[in-house]
Chain A
Amino acid sequence: MIEKKNKDELVEKIVLERIRNMAPNVKIALGSKGEFLSKNDLLNEVTNNTPTGKKIIEIQLRYMRALKEGIV
């Protein structure tokens, strides 16, 4: 349980770091939000653990795994 919590926290930290390093002109739309999310919006969604924030973490994690496995 503690191990999973630590792993989740580590993943969140990595994702937050990736978002902090985003270029300022990038905006992303996701889910049923009718607006594009800026870097700050994405950071808030992840930090506040919202449903969108959780999706952002999943998307980033899947991509990092694909990178690691040489799929992309």
Chain B
Amino acid sequence: MKKTLFVRPCHDDVVSYLYYYSKELLKESDNKGFKTINKEKGDANKAVVTSVIEKNNPDFIMFNGHGSPTMICGHKDEVLIEKGKNHSLIKGRITYSLSCSSASKLGNTVADSKTTFIGYVNEFALGMDSDSQAVVYKDNRAKLFLEPSNLLVKSLLKGNTAKDAVTKAKNLMKVNISKLRTDPFPDAKDYLPYLYNNYLFLELIGNNSVTLR
């Protein structure tokens, strides 16, 4: 049985959004027959995540959290994976890092014919509608930013190649950009530069024909 690992910190406003939106992916992974491991909130720390990866050898890992060109962070911004220190932990599998910039140096360091790294080579931006902050699931603006990310993961879980999964996510970003351009509400135009930024900087490095099936 193939295994998936989802690392989902929830310690600030931004990662809370990612935490909420990635919840459906756990169910999806389970329904598709993967052994699904969820490390969330305080468990999204270095000791736990390292131990889970070493013991379970997951085929796919999704990291939510903050990042930089050389690292991916977890609960309370503890560094989980760092270029030159423990990047070998994500070798030989598919990683999707929903964080800023980690695809640039870290992604390029690990990527090879057996390793796939999907992430952002520059900032990941997230828009939200402050009128719906109290109710995350009602925030239709944040949805435009996070749905493509979820589609990418769902597509991988369905058995699509990494390349196809990224293409589908980018296509949905394009659709959402078009939606915002024709949206009559005055706030719509303000999200456009940021969603376009995500479209530009989502990248797949390494083995692009790999599947989870």
Contacts and interface: CB of A to CB of B under 8 A. Distances in A.
Contact of A29 (B125, B131, B196, B200): B125
A34 B13 contact: yes
Interface of A: 22-36, 38, 55, 59-60, 62-64, 66, 72
Contact of A25 (B13, B17, B129, B194): B129
Interface in B165-189: 177, 181, 185-187
Given A26-B190, A35-B13, 7 more contacts: A22-B187, A27-B130, A28-B191, A30-B123, A32-B67, A34-B77, A36-B13
Contact of A72 (B14, B130, B177): B177
B33 to A, nearest CB: 34
A62 B197 contact: yes
A28 to B, nearest CB: 5
A37 B179 CA distance: 23
A18 to B, nearest CB: 8
Nearest to B200: A62
B129 A26 contact: yes
Nearest to A32: B66
Contact of B130 (A25, A60, A63, A64): A25
Contacts of B67: 32
A34 B66 contact: yes
Interface string B52-86: 00000000000000111000010001000000000
Contact of A59 (B128, B185, B197): B197
Contacts of B15: 34
Contacts of A64: 193
Contacts of B197: 59, 62-63
